């Protein structure tokens, strides 16, 4: 909690709990990233919420994952598995401590309320109002912890859609994304990942950080609400704008772009190559490398609007030249002159490309047999680096310590809050 000197009694004077943060060695600089010292009570499950709290943990927050007696559903989402644990669960739960609490049990519900009372951030993705029966809704938490930032993630908000379950596949369908995905003459398709769950998780983190900034300035917490459908509609960006500002209902075009050409896969001698020459300079360099130096001067292809209008005439010219070499050879030649393009990889190829570019995409979190290869956080800080404190926890792994802490007087450091994170070790997958 942050209190403004001179604006009233401090948290200690009022008897309000304060989360204890990681302790730095003398002269060691920041102990655990930019969010060191924040305590997060995580009542979320599955993907959007756990993804958000994993990002907060990576940045130094102390995250306590509250699970029901059966655990997060994703523990059972298999295959694939690693050491009999769902890789789905492993993918979004590093850096956390787990306590299993049955909210129907009065003692466990009281422990959950005490955790929320001590937390800087509370995050949940129950149906709107679902935590009120346990005294864990925003109003109840704010009454005892007015500085708390309380984040709620729902499927369809708190209005008429409040009782509709929110799953990413539903939102892909309802938002219109599936109508935009697939071939024009074929059926709609879902995206290959739960894109709106991830997007909503990111939006929740943005909202939490903004609310923490406000709390740091005023001492006042607030309720941050995110819903999947709103995240989806804003995430449709140009398509949403086409409808909202232009009255146009876009339709699926396969891999083509409605407003840019060339911006799609094109065949080469051995496989397709994504070409994304989105401006006149890139298109000119593309044509130069392809041996088509006169094409950019053709009025039909001079500017993007011209190329988009005449794509059916331009595409065969490009395809004819691309057919003389393979995709990898073209990738090397075109990226050397700044033309955006790339082969269509499987995920192993994507990781290999990241390794080639020095991005170290995989880190091992944990020690010995508990070490788990995990995808590196994409954010890099120059002064307060991301850290990876703990592997994804087993169910109730930290329950005894956390229950004892919650039963003790407020002010005691949270279990493990002084643990120093590491920056992660590159994972040797060989």
* pLDDT score for 14: 38
For residue 272, give the H/E element and its range.
strand 272-276
The stretches of 273-326 forming alpha helices (DSSP H) are 280-290, 304-309, 311-322
Active site residues: 197
- Cα angle for residues 74, 198, 228 (degrees, 5° grid): 100
Mean pLDDT of the chain: 90
Could you say which residues of the chain have pLDDT below 50? 1-31, 419-423, 425-430
Neighbours of 426 (CB within 10 A): 13
* pLDDT score for 27: 29
Report the distance separating Cα 274 and Cα 255, nearest Å: 10
* pLDDT score for 30: 39
What residues have CB less than 8 Å from 249, skipping those under 6 apart? 242, 243
- Residues 76-100 have pLDDT tens digits of 999 999 999 999 999 999 999 999 9
* pLDDT score for 427: 45
Q: Which of 136, 127, 135, 67 is nearest to 96 (CA)?
A: 67
* pLDDT score for 430: 35
Report the distance separating Cα 103 and Cα 166, nearest Å: 22
Q: What is the pTM of this model?
A: 0.87
* pLDDT score for 199: 98
Question: Can you spell out the DSSP letters for 311-352?
Answer: HHHHHHHHHHHHTTS-HHHHHHHHHTTT--EEE---HHHHHH
Q: Taking a C-beta distance cutoff of 8 angstroms, is the pair 77, 88 a contact?
A: yes
């Amino acid at each position: 909690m942050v209190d403004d000197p001179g604006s009233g009694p401090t948290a200690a004077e009022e008897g309000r709990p304060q989360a204890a943060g990681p302790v730095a060695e003398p002269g060691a600089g920041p102990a655990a990233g930019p969010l060191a010292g924040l305590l997060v009570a995580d009542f979320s499950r599955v993907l959007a919420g756990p993804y958000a709290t994993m990002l907060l943990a990576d940045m130094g927050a102390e995250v306590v994952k509250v699970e029901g007696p059966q655990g997060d559903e994703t523990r059972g989402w298999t295959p694939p598995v690693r050491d009999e644990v769902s890789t789905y669960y492993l993918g979004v739960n590093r850096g956390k401590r787990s306590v299993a609490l049955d909210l129907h049990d009065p003692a466990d519900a009281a422990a959950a309320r005490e955790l929320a009372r001590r937390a800087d951030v509370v995050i949940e993705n129950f149906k709107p109002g679902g935590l009120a029966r346990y005294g864990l809704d925003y109003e109840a938490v704010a009454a005892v912890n007015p500085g708390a930032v309380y984040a709620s993630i729902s499927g369809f908000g708190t209005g008429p859609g409040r009782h509709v379950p929110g799953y990413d596949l539903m939102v892909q369908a309802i938002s219109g994304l599936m109508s935009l995905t697939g071939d024009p003459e074929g059926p709609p398709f879902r995206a290959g990942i739960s894109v709106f769950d991830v997007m909503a998780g990111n939006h929740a983190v943005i909202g939490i950080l903004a609310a923490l900034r406000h709390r740091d300035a005023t001492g006042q917490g607030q309720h941050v609400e995110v819903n999947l459908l709103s995240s989806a509609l804003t995430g449709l960006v140009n398509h949403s704008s086409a409808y909202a500002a232009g009255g146009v209902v876009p339709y699926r075009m396969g891999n083509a772009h409605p407003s840019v050409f060339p911006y799609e896969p094109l065949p080469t001698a051995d496989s397709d190559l994504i070409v994304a020459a989105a401006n006149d300079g890139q298109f000119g360099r593309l044509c130069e490398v392809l041996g088509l130096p006169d094409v950019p001067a053709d009025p039909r292809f001079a500017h993007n609007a011209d190329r988009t209008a005449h794509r059916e005439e331009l595409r065969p010219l490009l395809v004819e030249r691309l057919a003389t070499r393979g995709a990898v050879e073209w990738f090397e030649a075109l990226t050397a002159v700044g033309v955006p393009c790339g082969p269509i990889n499987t995920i192993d190829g994507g990781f290999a490309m990241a390794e080639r570019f020095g991005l170290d995409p995989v880190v091992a979190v944990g020690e010995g047999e508990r070490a788990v290869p995990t995808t590196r956080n994409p954010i890099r800080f120059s002064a307060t680096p991301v850290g990876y404190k703990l592997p994804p926890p087993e169910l109730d792994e930290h329950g005894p310590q956390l229950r004892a802490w919650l039963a003790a007087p407020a002010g005691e450091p949270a279990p493990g809050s002084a643990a120093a994170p590491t920056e992660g070790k590159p994972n040797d997958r060989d």
